[in-house]
């Protein structure tokens, strides 16, 4: 016999009559026992199985059930749904628990990077973005001490309408050089990114009833500064970006987070972000940038080797809203938790075409376009609409017509996504939408009910986001990009009060939080982690911080399997670089791949830049060293990429010990068809900061095909694991060949 499991059973209200709240407990229990007994051997067994009989405000009970009993109960006509009796905990926005900085109950373990750094106390994290909403609770300075004396910045008060404090210590606005501009964020993007990177603790945070818990940034006790380099429409110009970098460097920030970029990568010498970031790194400031949201091969942006480039992937959390129809069938949908109808009962269900307004076309009504629905026919009903255009517009149109809910059926292959709908909405697949349409057509009085909930830990994660821009690096394929992936799908953080969560002109709601997706969201996660690492290791260079993040990344998901793409294929380094960021191991990487300004200037030499072009990055006179065929691949990057392998090629790397003395041995994951040798195979370190060089020899076998091949080089002393991705392509293949 299968082991019993416990469930919560929700029942139709009409099971107990119209006045369920007036019924006595004994009468309700008797009814529940009678119903459950129909799926069990006896009423006595049902009485033993039920351990909660709910009051009638919530119609149902909790019981232990065997698998066959569960199946029978789910088919019972009086049962709305049966949910597993899972443990629910108070949650943050989930990102930081997913990455191990705290556990699922919000408890910070002793090995957490948060614990080791006092939550990044007094680091200074800056964003170049659309500004900031200073009144956001993420920037409350309660409990903060004096501003660090090294801070050299200012606050543009915009005539007194904008104020900084001990948390938000600086804010500047750059708007084509116009004086008096306000750093206030009207768009919302900048507030979201800054609060993700360094927002303070915000208890009881949620978005439309979902993502409940204490929200916080990656470095919650850091000081933050906002540099508004984009206008309110989200357009960011090179002059303003450059001014923002210049100011942030002057102000002595520790980390600059840049969730901006071009559609495709442009030449470094003409890229304001690449140039500004070079100057920041030259001054010891770590720069983290988004990889882009183009989603196709070779579209990754912000690919300069001095930048940490971040892709986007999912969390193990899903915001769901299921549609339950009158025949008992339940269709899984996507939406936020508030999309449970306020009264747990069925509502009349109509197809949008059947309630079209006089003079409206069938097509406009099918997609619930503005003005297409008749309020007299919609009032008090759930409306089945089809997706086309802006999803949230459908729920707005139905709400304006007096509807109480929307079932939004897909009409194409695009992935479903939760949206900030105006009334309870369940977004479902095209197939399920067709099934519900048939139910409506074949039923005299069709009804439905919507219920929202959150699932955590059930799905495999991370999964690479379909929109996340991918490699190879079109400018310099010898540098693997992106470097890393981090949570960037359905991320909750702070929001402006000048704009609704949807950004639509008709959205008059003003919420302190919003849930959005993009590499713009994954980037500040890594920026916050970089702030923690700088707090723990204040003398580490930007290259050392990058190396620690890359070499400790995980290429497996929460189920121990390889990370996949959104399409279900196995992800590769062009999707995620080294893998998913793992902040706690990054605190003690063992070895790091160090680089300095000279290395980066040599890189510019090797790609053929003239002295004039180099001077844009490095103003001092500089004599370029001789170039060889492997000069670019020999840059001491934490990953190894050889895009034009011809014959036998040797690539060198140097690692520095940042841990205790130890003996590191190499493990090689050779790409298919490539012979890989490493010499020496053992590195012995007797002291901290000692450096050792090793050589990787690569040679393609005769039967190697035309695409890129992937492997890894891993050093370990039994405690630390230092893994570098290895990317190889035999000569004769196009740079962007996959």
Q: What are the counts of helices (DSSP H) followed by strands (DSSP E) for the chain?
A: 18, 33
The bridge status of strand 124-129 relative to strand 223-228 is parallel
CB within 8 A of 700, min separation 6: which ones?
Answer: 645, 673, 674, 675, 728, 730
If DSSP states are collapsed to H, E and C, what string results for 54-109? CCCCCCEEEEEECHHHHHHHHHCCCEEEEEECCCCCCCCCCHHHHCCCCCCCCCCC
484-487/308-313 β-pairing: parallel
Query: What are the DSSP calls for 369-395, one per residue?
Result: -TT-B-HHHHTT-EEEEE--S-HHHHH
76 is catalytic: no
From the number of C-beta atoms within 10 Å of its C-beta (0-12, 13-18, 19+), residue 131 rates as buried
Output the DSSP codes for 598-627: HHHHHHHHHTT--HHHHHHH--S--PPPPP
Q: How far is CA 27 from the centre of its chain?
A: 49
Say how many C-beta atoms besides its own lie within 10 A of residue 265's C-beta. Answer: 23
DSSP-derived secondary structure letter, 354: G
CA triple 573-578-584, angle to 5 deg: 155
CB-CB contact of 132 with 231 (8 Å): no
Q: Of 181, 313, 372, 520, which one is the catalytic site residue?
A: 520
The answer to whether the beta carbons of residues 32 and 56 sit under 8 Å apart is: no
Check 189, 192, 421, 537 and give the catalytic one.
189
User: CB burial class (10 A; 0-12, 13-18, 19+) of residue 397?
Assistant: buried
Q: Are 236 and 230 in contact (CB under 8 A)?
A: yes
Residue 443 is encoded by which pair of tokens?
Answer: 């039923």
- Residue 679, classified by CB atoms within 10 Å of its CB into exposed (0-12), middle (13-18) or buried (19+), is exposed
β-strand partners of 128: 227, 258
* CA atoms of 163 and 176, how far apart (whole Å): 22
Residue that the structure tokens 């543009």 belong to: 156
Q: Which pairing describes strands 640-645 and 721-730: parallel, antiparallel, or unpaired?
A: parallel
- CA atoms of 61 and 50, how far apart (whole Å): 7
Contact between residue 402 and residue 375 where contact means Cβ atoms under 8 Å apart: yes
* Short-list 231, 242, 419, 412, CA closest to 335: 419
Q: How far apart are CA 605 and CA 169, in angstroms?
A: 39
DSSP string, 216-285: --SSTTSEEEEEE-B-TTS-B-HHHHHHHHHHHHHHT-SEEEE----SS---GGG-HHHHHHHHHHHTT-
Distance CA(567)–CA(487), nearest Å, equals 18
Query: Would you call the peptide bond into 462 cis, given omega within 30 degrees of 0 as the criterion?
Result: yes
Is 192 an active-site residue? no
Nearest to 133 by CA among 511, 611, 533, 540: 511
Catalytic residue among 122, 129, 254, 483: 129
Encoding tokens for residue 242?
């450059």
Catalytic residue status for 520: yes
Are 487 and 526 in contact by the 8 Å Cβ rule? The answer is no
Read out DSSP for 412-459?
Answer: SSSPP-----SS-EEEE-HHHHHHHHHHHHT-SS-EEEEEEEEEESSS
Q: Token match 């960037």: residue?
A: 488
Cβ neighbors of 618 (< 8 A, separation 6 or more) are 278, 282, 597, 601, 604
Neighbours of 483 (CB within 10 A): 33
Catalytic residue annotation: 129, 189, 520
């Amino acid at each position: 016999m299968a082991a019993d499991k416990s469930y919560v059973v929700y029942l139709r209200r009409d099971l107990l009559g119209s006045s369920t709240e007036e019924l006595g407990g004994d009468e309700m229990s008797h009814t529940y026992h009678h119903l459950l007994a129909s799926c069990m051997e006896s009423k006595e067994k049902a009485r033993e199985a039920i351990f909660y009989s709910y009051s009638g405000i919530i119609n149902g009970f909790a019981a232990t059930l065997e698998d066959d009993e569960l199946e029978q109960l789910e088919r019972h006509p009086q049962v709305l749904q049966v949910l597993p009796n899972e443990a629910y905990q108070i949650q943050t926005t989930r990102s930081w628990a997913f990455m191990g900085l705290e556990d699922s109950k919000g408890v910070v373990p002793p090995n957490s990077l948060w614990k080791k750094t006092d939550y990044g106390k007094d680091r200074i994290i800056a964003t170049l973005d659309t500004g900031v909403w200073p009144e956001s609770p993420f920037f409350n300075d309660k409990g903060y001490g004096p501003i660090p004396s090294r801070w050299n910045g200012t606050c543009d008060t915009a005539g007194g309408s904008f104020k900084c404090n001990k948390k938000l210590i600086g804010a500047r606005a750059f708007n084509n050089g116009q004086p008096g501009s306000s750093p206030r964020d009207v768009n919302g993007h900048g507030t979201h990114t800054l609060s993700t990177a360094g927002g303070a603790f915000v208890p009881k945070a949620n978005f439309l009833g979902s993502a409940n818990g204490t929200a916080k940034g990656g470095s919650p006790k850091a000081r933050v500064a906002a540099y508004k380099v984009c206008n309110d429409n989200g357009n960011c110009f090179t002059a303003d970006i450059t001014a923002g970098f210049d100011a942030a460097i002057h102000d002595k920030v520790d980390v600059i987070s840049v969730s901006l970029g071009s559609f495709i990568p442009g030449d470094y010498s003409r890229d304001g972000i690449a140039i500004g970031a070079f100057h920041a790194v030259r001054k010891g400031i770590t720069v983290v940038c988004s990889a882009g949201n183009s989603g196709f091969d070779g579209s990754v942006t912000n690919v300069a080797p001095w930048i940490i480039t971040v892709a986007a992937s999912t969390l193990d959390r899903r915001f769901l809203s299921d549609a339950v129809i009158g025949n008992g069938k339940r269709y899984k949908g996507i939406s936020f938790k508030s999309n449970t109808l306020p009264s747990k009962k069925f509502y009349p269900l109509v197809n949008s075409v059947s309630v079209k307004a006089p003079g409206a076309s069938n097509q406009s009504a099918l997609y619930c376009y503005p003005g297409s629905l008749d309020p007299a026919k919609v009032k008090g009903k759930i409306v089945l609409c089809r997706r086309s255009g802006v999803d949230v517009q459908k729920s707005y149109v139905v709400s304006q017509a007096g509807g109480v809910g929307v079932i939004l059926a897909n009409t194409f292959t695009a992935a479903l996504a939760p949206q900030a709908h105006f009334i309870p909405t369940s977004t479902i697949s095209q197939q399920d939408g067709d099934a519900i349409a048939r139910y409506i057509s074949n039923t005299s009085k069709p009804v439905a009910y919507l219920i929202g909930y959150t699932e955590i830990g059930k799905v495999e994660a991370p999964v690479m986001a379909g929109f996340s821009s991918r490699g190879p690096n079109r400018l310099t394929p010898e540098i693997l990009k992106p470097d890393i992936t981090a949570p960037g799908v359905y991320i909750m953080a702070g929001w402006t009060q000048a704009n609704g969560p949807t950004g639509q002109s008709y959205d008059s709601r003003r919420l302190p939080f919003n849930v959005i997706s993009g590499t713009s969201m994954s980037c500040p996660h890594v920026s916050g982690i970089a702030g923690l690492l700088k707090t723990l290791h204040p003398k580490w260079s930007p290259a050392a911080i990058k190396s620690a993040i890359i070499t400790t990344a995980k290429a497996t998901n929460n189920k121990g399997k390889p990370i996949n793409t959104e399409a279900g294929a196995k992800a590769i380094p062009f999707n995620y670089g080294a893998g998913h960021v793992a902040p706690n191991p990054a605190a003690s990487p063992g070895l790091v791949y160090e680089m300095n300004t000279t290395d980066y200037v040599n890189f510019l030499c090797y790609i053929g830049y003239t002295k004039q072009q180099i001077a844009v990055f490095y103003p001092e006179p500089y004599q370029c060293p001789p170039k060889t065929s492997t000069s670019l691949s020999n840059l001491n990057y934490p990953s190894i990429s050889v895009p034009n392998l011809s014959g036998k090629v040797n690539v060198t790397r140097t690692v520095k010990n940042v841990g205790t003395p130890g003996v590191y041995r190499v493990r090689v994951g050779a790409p298919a068809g490539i012979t890989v040798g490493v010499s020496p195979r053992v590195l012995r370190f007797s002291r901290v900061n000692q450096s050792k060089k090793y050589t990787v020899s690569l040679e393609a076998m005769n039967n190697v095909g035309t695409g890129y091949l992937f492997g890894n080089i891993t050093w370990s002393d039994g405690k630390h694991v230092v893994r570098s991705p290895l990317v190889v392509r035999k000569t004769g293949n196009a740079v962007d060949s996959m």
